[in-house]
Structure formats: C-alpha cells, structure tokens
Amino acid sequence: MIAIEAIFFYLVALVAITSGFLVVKCKSPVNSAISLVMTFFCLAIFYVMLHAPFMAAIQIMVYAGAIMVLIVFVIMLLNLGTEVGRRYTHGVVWAAVLAALVLFQAVTFVRSGDITGLKGSITPDMVASVGHTELIGRSMFTQFLLPFEITSILLLVAIIGAVILAKRKV
Amino acid sequence: MVSIHHYLVVSAILFSLGTFGVLTRRNAIVIFMCIELMLNAVNLSFIALSSYLGNMDGQVFVFFVMTVAAAEAAVGLALMIAFFRNKESIDVEDFNLLKW
C-alpha cells in the first residue's frame, strides 16, 4: 500500500525545489520573486505536515505577505527591466562546485546520522488538543522572554535605519 | 513513511541552491532573494527537528529568525535604493569603489 502522505510529500518537495531553482535561474527579477513566493507556500505546506500550523500561518503572513511584497515594490520602484547584461558573474563553475560540495556534505551528514536527543513532551496529540499557538506562547513568554524583548528593539532600530537610509536629504 | 531525513535532505537542497544563487547572480535584489531562500531552508530544518524531537525550542527560534529576516529585508532594500540613487544600477559588479 503506497502511503498517500509520502506521495504528497514528494509532490510538494518537487514543486519547492523547482521553484528554488527558478529563483536562481530567471532573467527577470519579478519572475524570481514569484518563484520565491511559490517556495514559501510549499514550505508552509511542509510546516502543516510537521504539526506546526501556527508557524505555517506566520510564514505566509510574514514572508509571502510582507517581505515579498516589499521586494516587489522595490523592484517596481527601481524600474528594473530584464537584465540586458550578463546574468551571472564570472565564477559560475567554481560556485557550482562549492554548492555541490555543500549539498554532498549536508546529505552525507543527514544520511549517516540519527536523531539522538532525548524526546521531549510535545506530541502531535498535544498540539491538536492544547493548540499550537498556546504552546508557542507558553514557551516564548516564559523561557524566551528576553529574546522577545530584544527583537522588539531590533525592529525599532531597523525601521529607523530604513527610513534614514532611503531619505533624499538626511 | 516520511522520516526526518526526507525533510533534512529537502532543506539541504534548498540551501545549496541558495548558495549557488548568492555566489553567481549579479542583480543585488536577486542575491537578497537567494539569501531569503537559504534562511527558509534552515527554518525548515529547525521545524522538522523540533517536530521529531517533541520540543518547542526550534519553533520559537524560527519565529525569531523570521523577525530578523523581516528587519534585514527592510534595511537591505533601503540600502539598495540608496545605491541606485547614486549609481543608477544595482549590478554588484558596479559596486567597486572599495576595490584595490
């Protein structure tokens, strides 16, 4: 009996990897942006398959909804057309060798190892009954409260920095 | 069945595709998009491991990675707009004032 979950996983993985490849390959930056949005949607599907529905929603809202919209606005603002010059720098072969090396090393480490950590207490049944949002809230506002507050300061600094960098007369 | 290795291999493939894009593309905005691809590959690894180990720490970290990526997007794109205003191009081969 062929598991339907495995077929679904391979299908979504194929779409995600094809979209990732198109991000690198497309001549027009708008096409790359649209392929990246497709990759983000496939990753959100993966998060739902991994019993993390809150992170899937946040992924779509923040990445596909905010960051990609910002990127497309900047592409339209700068009025970039299709690239007329060369698309790649002169080190394509060396970069391909390096990327293949990174891939080979990562896959070797993944296939030869096993997960040896102690299993925690969060099971899919607990995620379904208690609610994923509450579990993340319990963790983030008690144990990770300091990074949360620091992140808010980081966002304030980023907003001020972005406004100053893009002004005409500072 | 879909084990943890499947998710980690997909994450590795997306990460290496992003690496190739960062190293070879000349358009600064496309380089930025490939960096976002790499960050998302790592997010997938975090959430896959968090799910298979039954721990919430990985997912909270992904939350913070997304926040930092959003802040970086704002500042990086403002920087590119400032570049474009000076040089009329965002080809990284043209950013060569510091070259020796």
Give the model confidence (pLDDT) of B33-77 as tens digits.
Answer: 999 999 999 999 999 999 988 889 999 999 999 999 999 999 999
Radius of gyration (C-alpha) of chain A in whole angstroms: 21
Q: What is the pLDDT of residue B40?
A: 97
In a domain, A90, yes or no: no
The CATH code of the domain that includes B40 is 1.10.287.3510
As a whole number of angstroms, the distance between CA B97 and CA B88 comes to 15
For residue B34, the enclosing domain spans 27-89
pLDDT digits (tens, 9 = 90+) for A25-81: 998 899 999 999 999 999 999 999 999 999 999 999 999 999 999 999 999 988 876
Hey, what amino acid is at B64? F
As a whole number of angstroms, the distance between CA A62 and CA B71 comes to 11
Alpha carbon of A166: minimum distance to chain B alpha carbons (Å) = 5
In a domain, A107, yes or no: no
Q: What is the pLDDT of residue B90?
A: 85
| pTM of the predicted model as reported, rounded to 2 decimal places | 0.92
The CATH code of the domain that includes A18 is 1.20.120.1200
Q: How many domains does chain A have?
A: 2
Indicate yes or no: CB of A151 within 8 angstroms of CB of B67.
yes
In a domain, A97, yes or no: no
In a domain, B50, yes or no: yes
In terms of Cβ atoms closer than 10 Å to its own Cβ (0-12, 13-18, 19+), residue B82 is middle
As a whole number of angstroms, the distance between CA A38 and CA A31 comes to 11
For residue A164, the enclosing domain spans 120-170
Residue B63: closest CA among chain A residues belongs to which residue? A55
In a domain, B57, yes or no: yes
In a domain, B7, yes or no: no
Q: How far apart, in Å, are the Cα atoms of A59 and each of A25, A116, B39? A: 24, 28, 12
Of A96-105, A127-136, B38-47, which one has max mean pLDDT? B38-47
Q: How far apart, in Å, are the Cα atoms of B49 and each of A50, A66, B4, B45, B56? A: 9, 26, 7, 6, 10
In a domain, A57, yes or no: yes
In a domain, A52, yes or no: yes
Reply yes or no on whether the pLDDT at A82 is more than 70.
Answer: no
In a domain, A24, yes or no: yes
Euclidean distance between the first and final Cα of chain B, in Å?
55
**In this structure, are A63 and A5 located in the same domain?**
yes
In a domain, A136, yes or no: yes
Hey, what amino acid is at B20? F
**In this structure, are A17 and A78 located in the same domain?**
yes
Name the percent of chain A lying above pLDDT 90.
Answer: 64
Do residues A85 and B91 make contact, with C-beta atoms less than 8 angstroms apart? yes
In a domain, B45, yes or no: yes
Tell me whether B20 touches chain A (CB under 8 Å).
Answer: yes
Indicate yes or no: CB of A115 within 8 angstroms of CB of B12.
no
In a domain, A103, yes or no: no
- Chain B residues in contact with A111 (beta carbon < 8 A): 5, 9
Q: How many domains does chain B have?
A: 1
Neighbours of A139 (CB within 10 A): 17
Question: So what's the ipTM on this one?
Answer: 0.93
Hey, what amino acid is at B9? V
Do residues B54 and A50 make contact, with C-beta atoms less than 8 angstroms apart? no
**In this structure, are A6 and A56 located in the same domain?**
yes
**In this structure, are A73 and A130 located in the same domain?**
no
Reply yes or no on whether the pLDDT at B81 is more than 70.
Answer: yes
**In this structure, are A127 and A68 located in the same domain?**
no
Q: Which of B76, B80, B69, B3 is nearest to B41 (CA)?
A: B69
Which stretch of A7-16, A46-55, A131-140, B9-18 has the lowest confidence by average pLDDT?
Answer: A131-140
- Single out the residue in A52, A82, A112 at which a domain terminates: A82
φ, ψ for residue B25, nearest 5 deg: -75, 155
As a whole number of angstroms, the distance between CA A44 and CA A67 comes to 15
Indicate yes or no: CB of B44 within 8 angstroms of CB of A43.
yes
- Single out the residue in A82, A108, A135 at which a domain terminates: A82
